[in-house]
Structure formats: C-alpha cells, structure tokens
Amino acid sequence: MELHQRILSAPVDFGAVRTEFGLASDYPSEAVSESRDALDAFAGARVDRTEIELVTIDPPGAMDLDQALALERTPAGGFRLYYAIADVAAFVAPDGPLARVSLARGQTFYLPDGTVPLHPNVLSEGRASLLPDQNRPAALWTIDCDENAEPQQYSVTRALVRSRARLDYATVQADADAGRLHPSIVALPDFGRLRIEAGLNRGAINLRLPSQSVVRVDGPDDAQPFGTTGARNDSATGTDHWQLVIEPRTAADDWNEQVSLLTGICAARIMLEAGGSDHLGLLRTMPPPAPATVDSLRRTAAAVGVPWPEGAAVGRMLAGLDPNSPAALVLMSEATGLLRGASYTLLNGQPPDTVQHSGIGAPYAHVTAPLRRLSDRYSTEICLCRCAGTGVPDWVRDGLAAAAESMRRSDAVAGKLERACIDLTESTLLAARAGTDFDAVVLREHNGTRPAEIFVADPPVLAKCTGEPPEGKQVRVRLTIADPATRTVTFAYPPEPPPEG
C-alpha cells in the first residue's frame, strides 16, 4: 500500500484552533526587550571550543537550532561525540519577565501556519540559535563511547562554539547514500546503527506508524513544509491552501535521534549519580507496559500472521517488520498502548517509584531542546553544576517542581493541538467527497465499545470506521461524514448498504 500519495489542496483556516486553545503568538513586550538586550551571563567562564567543526541537522527552513554535533572515530575504534546545546539559561534572568512567560507556556506549540514560540524569535531564532558561522554560547557535551557506541565517559561544560553548516535530514541521507557525508558526521551512520541495536538490547520500542503532516502549498501539486513562503491563497477567502502528506522518515532521522537519546541517557545518569540531598533532577519517565497489553499484542501478531519468536522483546519484533505492510501498521497501531503514562518525575532527595523510560529502556532526561522545551533549561543547569562540582542555583531548586508541572500541562495541550489541526485538515479536504469509496487498511477492529480504526493512504487519513471491517486486511470503505465544524471524519464498511429485509 503506497504511503506517500496526496490529493489536491483545500483552504483551511487554523485561527479557530488557536482561539480554542488560547494560543497567543505575540510575546509581551517586556520579555521581548529582555531577549533582545540580555548579555551572556556566563561569558567570562566559557571555554573557547570554536575549533570544533560542528554542524546542525534540522528540518528545512528551521531557525530555532538547539543542537550541533561533531562525531569522530577514536584511535581505539570507539567514538567521541561533541554535542553543543543552545545555552538558553545564559539569557534568561531567573526572576525576569522572560522566565515568567516561558514558565506559563512550557514549550513551543507548532501549528501548520506558524508557531507559538516558547521564547521570542529574537532569541530562539537569533541570538541563542546555533546558526552557522556565528559564535554562540552553548552547553557542550563530550561523550566518549567504546566500539559498540556505549558511553564510557561523559560531561558537559559551558563553551563558546561555532557551527560550520546547517544540514537537513534529506540532504544527510542523500549524502550518506552517495558516500559524501560532511566530515563532521562521517561516523554518524555506524554510530546510529550501533545505538539502535543497543536500544533494542535494552528493550526500547520504536514505532514506525505513518506520520501525518499538514503542509502549505503553492498549487495543487506543489507541497511545501509549513512555515515556508509562497503559499497558495484562496482568492475568495484569503485563506492559504493545505495538504495532508506522509512525512518520509529516513535512516538519517533515526541516526540523529540516537545522538539526542544518548545525551539524555547520560544526563539522567549524572542526575542519578548524586545522592542524599543532592539527589536532584527531572527525568522523563514511562512505566513498563502491562502484561495484559503485551499479551493482546501477541494475539494480534498471530492473527495477522506475524511470527513472534519466543523470548523476543516487543521492540525487536516490531523492528523486523516492513513498516509499509498492512500487518506492521496494525501491530504498531496497537503497540501505542504499550507507550502510555509518560510523565516528568522529580528527583528531590527521595527515590521515586520509577526512574525508567520503558520506551527507551533506560533512565532519560530532556536536555537537548531548551529553545523549544522549558524542562531542558533546568535539567541542563543541573548537569552543568554536577560536572563543574558547583552548587545548583536556587532558581533551579525552587523552580523545578513548577517546571515539571508546566511540562505536563503543555504536553497535554500540544498533543491535542496537533490532533485538532490534522482533524480540521482531514475533514476540510474530504468535505466534498462524502459518499466516495476509498481503499484502506484496518488497524483495529470493532471491539464492542470502540469503533474500528482504519488508515487511508490517499489522502493519508487515520479515521474511525463503522461496521466490522476485518483487522489487518485491505478493504474498501465509504466516506460517510466529513464535517469541518466538528473536525469529524467517519467511514463505513462495507461501502454498500446491506440489502433491505
């Protein structure tokens, strides 16, 4: 089943979604002034590491660049990773207007027609962003790994860095395929593959469900990532046109993800190594899946004909599937039930109930996206102080619980916001096609209380389906409801109504 198709665009206005979630893009003037005028609070304590040839890897057009990396092989056959993270704390006064507003926001919220940023753009896309050919303050991680890419030594310090190039995932993948990777990331494919294997050995679970995205278009056949210029505009409504697409995930995405995951694992270890009253930190945790959920997934695998060797972990079984096959779509859709209960867990002198993130298979902390996520500023500061042997500042100790609560609240909003934008686009694109039949894969069958769920590839839609379509099968369904007012899409199976009598 082809997962990269798309249909003609339609005008969609996301203003109502912004209003519904109370999102205001404009930043208070006093916080903007602070962002514009603040000086690097740690300028005198930084180590000059501008000689490291760092590069960034981000989506095309991104300007809020949190991370830059350089990866090299060591003489012993291992790896040395330099990972520079934007040092946002250097620009944020602990009791200033910027700290208060960012605490209220929690994170950057992404809509197809633009962002609601955690920090003013003058900071997140300018002074603190790791843009190429600019000296920038950073928290610089140095992680030494063995030949299996397992960390042996790790530390973080404040440094001055300079990125050499801004790359994107597609370019990195194309360069890897052609054997012409930038010298700073020649070792990334080997490193990424080893780290992925290490994750599977830990019991990590990586789902490869189709990733829906809403993109702005110039015309019916020209999709662009949202945020780019030149959008097609509906002359009658003044509203931009949008499409739904499936974002292709490359191996380069996975390799780069492993860099951030490793850094978060090392950050969690630093927090957990301190004892007594110094046991301070903020972990991203997830409880282990319930045995009943794993048993249900095992029964589903048998029903759709996927072998599951005795003793094989869930993550390894899923990793061996063709992500484009109907059976894989079914199993990965059901496996989302394994990855529930993610939260932020405080370390405050007392051992918590759990320190593990079951999806990663290790303790883990967010430290790699401080321009876009509040928690990272606090967690990074703790790691910096632990590595320097200095005391954690009061603004971190006193504010950690509030930061954790802000993240819990804003995570819930971000998830609902993303779904609302996709639902609105789906229902708008399909509004004129009620009664049309579509090919679909049945992800979940009707279970008595929950309707069936299907995946339609063209346009890429995840939706409810009435009737009793068979799980794991390709079927023909009919669109019965596509209502932008309620952001609702529903299909029916079988497409033809049953005969009367």
CATH number of the domain bearing residue 483: 2.40.50.140
Residue 207 located in a structural domain: no
Domain final position from 281, 310, 337: 337
d(CA 101, CA 42): 22
Closest CA to 240 of 255, 223, 257: 223
Asked, for residue 319, whether it belongs to a domain, the answer is yes
- Show which of 337, 362, 394 is a domain's final residue: 337
Domain that holds residue 301: 291-337
State residue 246's pLDDT score: 82
Residue 177 sits at the vertex; the CA angle it makes with 171 and 179, to the nearest 5 degrees, is 100
Q: Is residue 440 in some structural domain?
A: yes
Give me the phi and psi of 128, to 5 degrees please.
Answer: -100, -15
Beta-carbon contacts of residue 336 (< 8 Å; ≥ 6 apart): 207, 209
Q: Is residue 318 a part of any domain in this protein?
A: yes
Q: Pick the residue with more confidence: 207 or 230?
A: 207
Contact predicate 488/428, CB 8 Å: no
- Provide mean pLDDT across the span 281-309: 92
What digits encode the pLDDT tens for the residues 399-429? 999 999 999 999 999 999 999 999 999 999 9
Domain boundary among 308, 337, 366: 337
Q: How far apart are CA 474 and CA 482, in angstroms?
A: 21
Would you list the DSSP string of 271-288?
A: HHH--GGG-EEEEEEBPP
269 domain residue, yes or no: no
Share of the chain above pLDDT 90, in %: 76
- Name the least confident of 4-8, 80-84, 185-189, 270-274: 4-8
What does the pLDDT average to over 54-72?
96
In a domain, 481, yes or no: yes
Tell whether 460 is covered by a domain.
Answer: yes
H-type alpha helices, 287-345: 291-303, 314-319, 326-335
Please report, for residues 35, 111, 190, the alpha-carbon distance to residue 90 in angstroms, rounded to integers and kept in the order given. 11, 28, 34
Query: How far is residue 344's CA from residue 285's CA, in Å, rounded to a whole number?
Result: 6
Query: How many domains, in total, are found in the chain?
Result: 2
Instruction: Specify if 251 maps to a domain.
Output: no
- Report which secondary-structure segment, H or E, holds 177: helix 169-178
Confidence of residue 458 (pLDDT cuts 50, 70, 90): confident
**Banded model confidence at residue 485, pLDDT cuts 50, 70, 90:** very high
At 248, is the pLDDT very low, low, confident or very high (cuts 50, 70, 90)?
confident
Helix (H, G, I), strand (E, B) or coil at 225: coil
pLDDT of residue 26: 86
How confident is the model at residue 447, as a pLDDT?
85
> Which of 46-50, 207-211, 246-250, 440-444 holds the top average pLDDT?
46-50
